[in-house]
Structure 1
Amino acid sequence: MKNIYQILMMIAIIFAGGFAAGTIFTKNSEQPDSIKLAKTAAQSGKNPVQKSAPELPDASPKVLIGYVQDYRDPDAVDYSSLTHVIFSFAHPEKNGSLSFNGDTALNNLRRIVSNAHKHDTKAILAVGGWFHIKGGESYEYFKLAIARPASRNKLVNELVSLTDREKLDGIDIDFEHPRSQKEAEFLEVFIHDLSQKLHAKDKELSVAVHSKIHSVTGTEAGNIIYKPSMFREVDYVNIMAYDGQWDGGYNAANLSPYPFTENIVNYWANLFDTHNISKEKLVLGVPFYAQPENPSIKQVSYEAIINLNPENAWRDKINMNGTTYYYNGESTMQKKTNLALTSGFGGMMIWEVGHDAKGSYSLTGAIAEVLKDSDTKLKYYSIKNLD
């Protein structure tokens, strides 16, 4: 009996031990917190920032400015490639008043403005020029108008009033040229006063300037004087980089050859860098006419040269009317445009749109093509640099 009791006790102990061991095993075999299935993450209290598309840096648009003389048919002008058309000229009087070359000129101005605005082109009025409608140089009238406070103020007010009345986008000052420090100071004051009033009305102000370089010696022309601080007051500085044929003895070949233009570009670029003025204000002027080797013969237009033979578009010199003519053909124009762009200039200027050939031989179109290609490259590199 005792043995049976002992056996039953052992069975009971074994059974109890197995049950306890199973319980312990079960507890220890549960997954620790570190490897349990992840619960849904709690929502953050912060809203994620929505990223917008990268903003491209503003590329300064390159300008193509074309002067148009007051007798041209406004409907014959091709505005499509021009950013600015400058009607030339209103003539300053010694007392500060303004004159136009008759009602025809004023009517042409109004048609130019209307046509330009239909093409989203700015219409500007040029004041001054070389010749005055009363005869002689405009210089004699202009210098007196800006030398005295009363006449200077009158001229400023006349121009601002005219800008409003004729719906102009701005004024271009073509004082040819200040020939002393005093005259340079008078011009600076005049530009300052006019700039203040035009810019307050969101209008533009540009100034046409002598190339300042002698085409033969390549040195600075000291007889033309500007106050560099004046250029801070204007939107554009239109450089008349032509007419070098008059430097020294008459030589038609010096009209506007490429090396002459290189010297001009270097001079103005260095001047603006020295005075910490943006070179994008600088606009390189080019001629659309041909100069005769015989000065007793008249100049001819680029259009006349192309009409004679379209292949003249790729030349810079031809024989015509019994003399040799010098001009800038398409290749030279595009080369000059690239020079201006690589030098940091803001664009190109044409004297004068009425001289241009039509259609595929247009120099305006050739220049515009280079400017457009430059804008495309600038946008491409701007996007690339954002990576």
Structure 2
Amino acid sequence: MRHPFLFNLLLLSAILMPLTGFANTSSRQHVVIGYYLLEKEQINHYPEAAEFPVSYITPRKAAMLTHINFSFININANGECDLPEGVETDKAAKVFSELMALKKHHPKLRILFSLGGWTYSNDSSPTVTRYRDAVSTPEQRLKLANSCVAFMKHYGFDGIDIDWEYPRPQDADQFVALLTEIRRQLTQENLQRPKKPYQLTIAGPGDVANMTRYYPQLPAIVAQLDYLNLMSYDLNGVWQARSNHNAPLFGHPDEPLISNPLRSLASAAGASQVSLDKLFPSPIASTIDAAVTHYLRAGIPAKKMVLGVPFYGRAFFQVTPENDGLYQTFVTESAENYQGDPALLIGCDSCTRRKEPRMASYAEIQTMLKAPLGYVRYFSHETKVPWLWHPEKHIFVSYDDTVSLDYKIAYLKQQGMAGVMFWHLGQDDRQGSLLGSLHRGLVQPVPRRISLSGGLHY
């Protein structure tokens, strides 16, 4: 008997599309979803310790958003949706209250909470077993769903975003069952608020490698969702052998290619050679276009997909100087918890304070670029993203700016996607330049100067 995944491969979206039917996606308005991050220490000393308190979300900025996702809630030792251990309840309630107050002037704004995040749910996290256990039985799934819905109602949230990074293949069917239970409960709750129903979203992988964890279950997963937020960033980084773009839209002839992991998955399911070559060619470039294409080929409707963009950049050090640092070897610590020199990123004083020079916000990068420090900005007309190069210090920084976001907005419009999501609000400059660029791009026609040709499309 053939694996049902092969059935998905061959029949594709024409048959799978009817599986999706819960989303409130009748409006033509694009969504703009901004994650709002507060670490435990910031919550407990709010607002003094918060780098970006809620008050920084001005009415002008709030008017450009359709959703704010508070990050993060965790699963407690009892398998329930709860504040992370050590977070003071009264301080968290104050933050939530300030977020909800934004809706007084913008009643259509939705505030969701996000459950999980990389720190709490990745495979090496001390609390990842809570996620696996919480979906393992019907009783555990009901407990988690009940607690998440109760948390949502208690604090006045407008929905639930699940950011489990990522369920393993053996967790995938149970993950579908959890989403189904949460959707069932939200449907019941929505009978009491039909004008602004509670929503359910997830943050899903924006790279092909992590898609393999639950690719066969994707149609069933998305059937329960209002939106699938693609984390279409961190596609390349210091864990690889060569410098590359953090979130390239398209590929480049000179970049390193990767094996397509979905090809092996399809082959194991019995797909023919013709199907493999047509649907899952290998090797491929790690790009946004490749990820979106694979979601579409799984039968996921574009109108439920939200394109994720980064409001931060990734830095590489001791980079070989050819090609202005792009696609070159480098020497940079790749461990998740950085232990090296915190001052490597010239001009990023806050990176030094955080002891993490490998990542910088858009605001910090703009400060670096505007100061006379020796950085030079380049732009790839193939991949549609910029980078900085420091020819003296051999520093390469991949990031997104208002120009690259214009291309990504044009792309999501071309694909018919639901809108855009970004990580995160506190990384924009104080003027909200990136948010403003997203807003203008979504409400205005695509400028004639924006052409999506030139790069290696999947």
Band of TM-score, shorter chain: 0.7 to 0.9
**What amino acid is the match of 2:147?**
E
More relative contact order, 1 or 2 (CA 8 Å, 6+ apart): 2
Distance 1:93 1:225 in 2: 28
Q: Which residue of 2 aligns with 1:372?
A: 443
Structure 1 residue 132 and structure 2 residue 120: aligned?
yes
Q: Cα deviations across residues 237-281 of structure 1 (Å, max 9, x unaligned)?
A: 000001112597254524111211111222222323xxxx53211
Q: Using a 3 Å threshold, how does the CA distance of structure 1 residues 91 and 185 change in structure 2: closer, same or farther?
A: same
Structure 1 residue 318 and structure 2 residue 309: aligned?
no
3-state secondary structure, aligned to 2:116? strand
Q: Using a 3 Å threshold, how does the CA distance of structure 1 residues 156 and 191 change in structure 2: closer, same or farther?
A: same
User: For the Cα contact (< 8 Å) 2:74–2:116, is it kept in 1?
Assistant: yes
Q: Using a 3 Å threshold, how does the CA distance of structure 1 residues 221 and 123 change in structure 2: closer, same or farther?
A: closer
Q: Using a 3 Å threshold, how does the CA distance of structure 1 residues 305 and 176 change in structure 2: closer, same or farther?
A: same
3-state secondary structure, aligned to 2:64? coil
**What amino acid is the match of 2:168?**
R
Task: After TM superposition, give the deviation of residue 236 of structure 1 in Å.
Answer: 0.3
Distance 1:262 1:226 in 2: 20
Q: Which residue of 2 aligns with 1:27?
A: none
Distance 2:378 2:403 in 1: 6
Distance 1:116 1:327 in 2: 31
Q: Using a 3 Å threshold, how does the CA distance of structure 1 residues 163 and 223 change in structure 2: closer, same or farther?
A: closer
User: For the Cα contact (< 8 Å) 2:306–2:417, is it kept in 1?
Assistant: yes
User: For the Cα contact (< 8 Å) 2:215–2:298, is it kept in 1?
Assistant: no
Matches within 5 A, 1:64-79: 64-70=32-38, 71=42, 72-77=52-57, 78-79=61-62
User: For the Cα contact (< 8 Å) 1:174–1:207, is it kept in 2?
Assistant: yes
Q: Which residue of 2 aligns with 1:237?
A: 228
Task: After TM superposition, give the deviation of residue 138 of structure 1 in Å.
Answer: 4.7
Task: After TM superposition, give the deviation of residue 313 of structure 1 in Å.
Answer: 8.8
Q: Which residue of 2 aligns with 1:198?
A: 186
Q: Cα deviations across residues 210-235 of structure 1 (Å, max 9, x unaligned)?
A: 12425xxxxx8534546121211110
- TM normalised by structure 1 equals 0.72
Q: Using the TM superposition, name which of 349-358 and 90-99 deviates more.
A: 90-99
Q: Which residue of 2 aligns with 1:383?
A: none
Structure 1 residue 164 and structure 2 residue 164: aligned?
no
User: For the Cα contact (< 8 Å) 1:212–1:224, is it kept in 2?
Assistant: no
**What amino acid is the match of 1:67?**
Y
Q: Using the TM superposition, name which of 72-81 and 91-100 deviates more.
A: 91-100
User: For the Cα contact (< 8 Å) 2:93–2:155, is it kept in 1?
Assistant: no
User: For the Cα contact (< 8 Å) 1:251–1:293, is it kept in 2?
Assistant: no
2:80 pairs, out of 76, 97, 102, with 97
Q: Which residue of 1 aligns with 2:7?
A: none
Q: Which residue of 2 aligns with 1:279?
A: 302
Count how many residue pairs are aligned between Structure 1 and Structure 2: 307
Task: After TM superposition, give the deviation of residue 152 of structure 1 in Å.
Answer: 1.6
Q: Which residue of 2 aligns with 1:289?
A: 312
1:145 pairs, out of 96, 113, 134, with 134
Q: Using a 3 Å threshold, how does the CA distance of structure 1 residues 247 and 148 change in structure 2: closer, same or farther?
A: farther
3-state secondary structure, aligned to 2:400? coil
**What amino acid is the match of 1:139?**
V
In the alignment, structure 2 segments of 5+ residues that lack a partner are 1-25, 43-51, 191-196, 251-286, 318-331, 334-356, 380-385, 447-458
Task: After TM superposition, give the deviation of residue 156 of structure 1 in Å.
Answer: 0.6
Structure 1 residue 112 and structure 2 residue 79: aligned?
no
User: For the Cα contact (< 8 Å) 1:117–1:123, is it kept in 2?
Assistant: no
Q: Cα deviations across residues 168-226 of structure 1 (Å, max 9, x unaligned)?
A: 1100011111221x311011000000011113222100011012425xxxxx8534546
Structure with bigger helix share is 1
Q: Which residue of 1 aligns with 2:202?
A: 207
Distance 2:126 2:207 in 1: 19
Q: Using the TM superposition, name which of 258-267 and 105-114 deviates more.
A: 105-114
Distance 1:252 1:156 in 2: 42
Distance 2:115 2:30 in 1: 23
Distance 1:304 1:119 in 2: 29
**What amino acid is the match of 2:422?**
I
User: For the Cα contact (< 8 Å) 2:378–2:387, is it kept in 1?
Assistant: no
Task: After TM superposition, give the deviation of residue 136 of structure 1 in Å.
Answer: 2.4
Q: Cα deviations across residues 339-368 of structure 1 (Å, max 9, x unaligned)?
A: 011101000000111101232x61111111
User: For the Cα contact (< 8 Å) 1:94–1:151, is it kept in 2?
Assistant: no
Larger Rg over CA atoms? 1
RMSD: 2.8
- TM normalised by structure 2 equals 0.62
In the alignment, structure 1 segments of 5+ residues that lack a partner are 1-57, 215-219, 376-387
After the TM superposition, list the runs of 4 or more consecutive aligned residues in structure 1 that deviate by more than 6 angstroms.
311-314
Task: After TM superposition, give the deviation of residue 85 of structure 1 in Å.
Answer: 0.4
Q: Using a 3 Å threshold, how does the CA distance of structure 1 residues 288 and 364 change in structure 2: closer, same or farther?
A: same
**What amino acid is the match of 1:289?**
Y
Structure 1 residue 188 and structure 2 residue 176: aligned?
yes
Q: Using a 3 Å threshold, how does the CA distance of structure 1 residues 59 and 122 change in structure 2: closer, same or farther?
A: closer
Q: Percent identity, please.
A: 23
Distance 2:34 2:292 in 1: 19
